[in-house]
Structure 1
Amino acid sequence: MEQSPEQWLAAMQERADEMVRQSQEIQQNLQDMAETAAEADGSVSVTVSANGALKDLHIDKQAFSRGPEHLKTTILRLAGQAQAKVAGRVVETVEPVAGHDGLEFLRSQLPADPDAANDQARRPAGDDFDDEPPQSFLR
């Protein structure tokens, strides 16, 4: 059965309205999304938002007593773990709307493993051989 132009326009408007609703829902979910990774003893915890940005950092006296290098390594490791967790949640949130191609693009922008997000931070100052902009929205 063929649709009239009015029916076609009404159907398109309905689909557009649904896409707007889904987009707003996703935006709200991403705005509220965060993940935390912590040391087993609770001495350090790192919380990141949906884009991987540091949102909170807890360091207790016990963690300070281990020295600055250990603390730095711990924070970077935990940040990578939290970023990997939140990236997975972002993919799950966007998947129903983005479709296969959109999801593959999103996955291609994520670090391959939790430590990949920390590679830049581990490099000595001035050791930037990468002329390309960051490929992850998590940085």
Structure 2
Amino acid sequence: MNNSNRKTHHFSAQVYYEDTDHSGVVYHANYLKFFERAREDIIGISKLSEMWHEKGIGFAVYKINLGYHDGAAFGDLLNIKTTWEKQGDYRVIFFHEAWRPNAEKPAVTCTLELVCLGPNKKLMPIPDLDFLMV
């Protein structure tokens, strides 16, 4: 992830037993939950709730690319590092990394593209949101 000119957001994600598979490492799909929570923290839950309930506006994942490098384990407190960039009027790309404590490389990397959907699930330009102005 090239984040030289981007602000990095940090989000802590505790790995619970329920997040792991029979081998004691995080089940692969659960990283998506950790990354989703980080994005909600960036945008703001109250802002997302207001957009959804008052305007019928939400976000949808358009494309995702994941790389698994080092499985996180039950009890780890992950540091989810996220940067983002708006590309055009209709897409925001988030770059996530899940870091284990004292790790030398990220456990998982993710590039995720979001689009904005308005009422009736129609594609619409992404509204001006505070996190995009950084």
Question: What is the TM-score when the length of structure 2 is the normalising length?
Answer: 0.27
Q: Which of the pair has more CA radius of gyration?
A: 1
Question: What is the TM-score when the length of structure 1 is the normalising length?
Answer: 0.26
Which structure exhibits the higher relative contact order, with contacts defined as CA atoms closer than 8 Å and separated by 6 or more residues? 2
| Structure having the larger proportion of residues in strand | 2
